[in-house]
Structure 1
């Protein structure tokens, strides 16, 4: 049984989580998260801790940002779009139990007022921004670091938020050129 409560988008996500692990979930009901849901998530964070596990798409990232902003200190589980895709549909509900268990065993915790150990210049040097293949390169490095896919500015923020060390970053970026 996972101690923390897992925040997911809907009932199909809850079913997928329960196929993989024993855990309690809170469903946001989509990206229009109500005050009552946020209050339940805050209570869960206070009593047991919270893991945010949303779809690897625009709506899922929006939900992740809303919950993280309103309920500080959450842990984050990420899967890639490829791991969450089935017949053109992207969602946690499509991920295999093994993928879900892997994501839940590689959580990232955000740190408030974190200072990035990775610089903007590091992102440029690694070809993660201002590079013709920056998006695909960020996707691969994001997978290796376990922080998911995002644009360059958000990638930089996640490196700070999850306290990615320069060594972790360099090791992940080094794999791009092999």
Structure 2
């Protein structure tokens, strides 16, 4: 492997079959979080949706250090896929990382805020960051087990 190869982030993903109806992303996100290890350990995944919640894509890459590289790779790949035909999109990051008991740490919340800024540069509204490990998961924003009905969680901006 050449030194140049070390600057590459490999991104893979799935997109929905347009011939079938799919549950909106807010209704699927906890199931995706519980099954995120199916994509392998130490992954960063980004689930993309239209503002109305329609699932557009699930992209994943190896978790990088700094984490911004994997996130940026997924955002760039989403753009290259045509963004599901959407000019504006929303997303939730799922990251295989250690999860500690108790309230979210300031560092965890700062990572989410940093990621929101990166996503914003790509015209994507980042709704939440979900940290997942072998035993548990933690959300930066979601507080219930009914994300599709939690008031204010799917906080996409008003359509212009």
Question: Structure 1-normalised TM-score?
Answer: 0.25
More strand by share: 2
* Structure showing greater Rg: 1
